[in-house]
Structure 1
Amino acid sequence: MVIGGGAAGLNGALMLARSRRDVLVIDAGQPRNAPADGVHGLLAREGMPPLELIARGQDEVRGYGGEIISDEVTEARRDGDGFAVTTAGGRTVRARRLLVTTGLVDELPDLPGLRERWGRDLVHCPYCHGWEVRDQPIGILATGPASMHHALLFRQLSDDLMFFQHDQPDLPDDQAEQLAARDITLVTGEVAEIQIKDDAIAGVRLKSGSLIPRRVIAVASRLVARAGFLHSLGLVPLPHPSGMGEHLPADATGRTEIPGVWAAGNVTDLSAQVGSAAAAGALAGAQINADLVLAETRLAVANRSR
């Protein structure tokens, strides 16, 4: 069973279906990149609308006999040598192996205007959105240590950059010097809201009352794995070594600490883009198939020796 129907989940399901496995994908229909106009940095699919990419992937999985249902998994628990999965729609489904690809949630500062423009002119990734906002007045909203790195990356895309310190501690001298050297304006003072006008960002209003015009806001969101339904199995998201948020730990093949459970995509790799998430899903799908082959072979040998 695959829980989550994004790029990682569908590619994992594709690998399993092509290996003649019975595959069920359960997807809640809440892709993180749904507000974006297109998927970027994905060879041969550059600029494709995210929902179109998902629809094509679903068709491919179904073409090999995979099943996809729209529902949300609320609990996964051990059931004998497999798993029982319960959904919000009242289904209970049993599976021998689980591939978790539920992605993550972006936690944003509690400021008016931020969530409304998410994925449009409120962006988080210079590689996903940078070309589309090039040469525009960009504001970097500081949210933590990653924001400095964010600012330097976005400086590659625009000469008009402002770093809003907001409620963060004062920058160390070396970081302030870096901003100055790259002609990035440091704006002190707490931010009150992101001003919206005519369905677009107009600027950043400080608590002092000042409105500073900006067309784009970049923010390094806190990233948290969607994995609450795994608690019954003893799997809980842990702090990521990068400090970016919380992830579901897994090895390079996607195997978690719970036998029979794999994870791929953003639920375990917080910085994975669509291409790398899809590749990780394919690898995890192949590993699950190999694991099943070994289990089936052990059983066949045992039955033959009776």
Structure 2
Amino acid sequence: MEESYDVVVVGGGPAGLAGALCLARARRTVLVVDAGAPRNVPAEHVHNYLGRDGDAPGALLADGRAEIRGYGADVVDGTVVAAHPGAGHDDGIGFRLVLEDGRSVRARRVLITTGLTDELPEVPGLAERWGRDVVHCPYCHGWEWREQPLTVLGTGPLGVQQAQLFRQWSHDITFVQHTAPAPDAQEREQLAALGIACVAGEVSRVEVAGDRVTGLRLDSGELVPCRAVVVVPRFTVRSGLIDSLGLDTAEEEEQGHAVGTYVPSAPTGGTEVPGVYVAGNVTDLHAQVLAAAAAGLTTGTAVNADLQAEDLDRALAARRA
């Protein structure tokens, strides 16, 4: 028989676990289904999480799993490949969720916290160093690379802005144009004022020696030395489950440049599909770990309020009958 839950949370990262914790403490039956592929798995540490700065990402998630299990929530390692709205549930809005191994469960509500994928520029050697000495967020990695020689790989109009931002952490910044538009006169003046070198030419590969980045090799053969590379990835939501529920995604733009896709939602995580909620990077591309966890808590309270209203309607209907 299919097991039935008040809420199935798809994704066991900070947003999903925080939502599950809130709901389990509210005495809801909760299942978390986690594919075990967190976005920050290449990183060694979590930062800007008050009280847990410097923790390993895996330790944070392991502790979160233990906490929600302590309140009666279930956790399953697996991938939800499809969800069917209106599949029937004795207690109201219903969903049937199918896992990759063929199992299925039913839920009154679904909370999707599957995060996003970082799509990196296609430069040989870049992906292998991702999360180590190829980084994108100064608030996540800037302190660790302070006063080190850094290169910013230009792939779009946001590269100049990224170079200017990282200048706060290091005096040795080089902007390599690569496939980005050439900086205009104003941007060149800004870069010069900050002491940021600007190098034209496309990058052919990342040079590595002794398990550390040593520079970017240009098509011309020139080597731009550095200790770490800054990139601006494209952020794309993991869309398989989202598509099966009929949820639309939207493009997010910055300075007229598409930076990624996300699922539009209300401030409390509600979506256009009744009974389906989202939290974390799947709806907020720039949420760091602490913000994602906070969003999970906020959305968890909204899901519980939704269920409570439905429970009340059913109780009133039973009384009047």
Using structure 2 for the length normalisation, give the TM-score. 0.94
Does residue 71 (structure 1) correspond to residue 78 (structure 2)? The answer is yes
Distance, in Å, in 2 between the alignment partners of 1:145 and 1:135 is 25
Structure 2 equivalent of residue 27 of structure 1: 34
Structure 1 equivalent of residue 5 of structure 2: none
Report how many residues are paired: 306
Structure 1 equivalent of residue 50 of structure 2: 43
Match of 1:245 among 260, 275, 288: 260
Does residue 264 (structure 1) correspond to residue 279 (structure 2)? The answer is yes
Structure 2 equivalent of residue 165 of structure 1: 177
Partner SS, residue 33 of structure 2: strand
Code of the residue aligned with 2:305 in structure 1: it is A
Structure 2 equivalent of residue 208 of structure 1: 220
Partner SS, residue 139 of structure 1: strand
Structure 1 equivalent of residue 144 of structure 2: 132
RMSD of aligned C-alpha atoms? 0.9
Distance, in Å, in 1 between the alignment partners of 2:23 and 2:239 is 22
Code of the residue aligned with 1:236 in structure 2: it is D
**C-alpha offsets along residues 153-211 of structure 1, whole Å, 9 cap, x if unaligned?**
10000000000100122122211111111110001001101111111111000001111
Match of 1:98 among 101, 104, 110: 110
Match of 1:233 among 221, 245, 251: 245
Code of the residue aligned with 1:160 in structure 2: it is D
Structure 2 equivalent of residue 8 of structure 1: 15
Does residue 142 (structure 1) correspond to residue 149 (structure 2)? The answer is no
Deviation at 1:131, TM superposition (A): 0.3
Does residue 108 (structure 1) correspond to residue 123 (structure 2)? The answer is no
8 Å CA contact 2:34–2:75 kept in 1: the answer is yes
**C-alpha offsets along residues 272-291 of structure 1, whole Å, 9 cap, x if unaligned?**
00111000000101100000
Match of 1:274 among 289, 308, 311: 289
Partner SS, residue 170 of structure 1: coil
Structure 1 equivalent of residue 64 of structure 2: 57
8 Å CA contact 2:159–2:180 kept in 1: the answer is no
Distance, in Å, in 2 between the alignment partners of 1:87 and 1:97 is 16
Deviation at 1:241, TM superposition (A): 4.0
Identity in percent: 51
Code of the residue aligned with 1:182 in structure 2: it is L
Contiguous gaps of at least 5 residues in structure 1: none
Distance, in Å, in 1 between the alignment partners of 2:62 and 2:291 is 19
Partner SS, residue 111 of structure 2: strand
Code of the residue aligned with 1:297 in structure 2: it is L
Distance, in Å, in 2 between the alignment partners of 1:137 and 1:241 is 30
Match of 2:232 among 186, 196, 220: 220
Distance, in Å, in 2 between the alignment partners of 1:250 and 1:151 is 32
**C-alpha offsets along residues 67-111 of structure 1, whole Å, 9 cap, x if unaligned?**
011001111121133111111121111111011100000000111
8 Å CA contact 2:157–2:180 kept in 1: the answer is no
Mean alpha-carbon deviation: is it higher for 31-40 or for 224-233? 224-233
Distance, in Å, in 1 between the alignment partners of 2:253 and 2:210 is 40
Partner SS, residue 204 of structure 1: strand
Partner SS, residue 264 of structure 2: coil
Code of the residue aligned with 2:81 in structure 1: it is T
Code of the residue aligned with 1:75 in structure 2: it is A
Distance, in Å, in 2 between the alignment partners of 1:46 and 1:222 is 26
Distance, in Å, in 1 between the alignment partners of 2:142 and 2:23 is 35
Using structure 1 for the length normalisation, give the TM-score. 0.98
Structure 2 equivalent of residue 284 of structure 1: 299
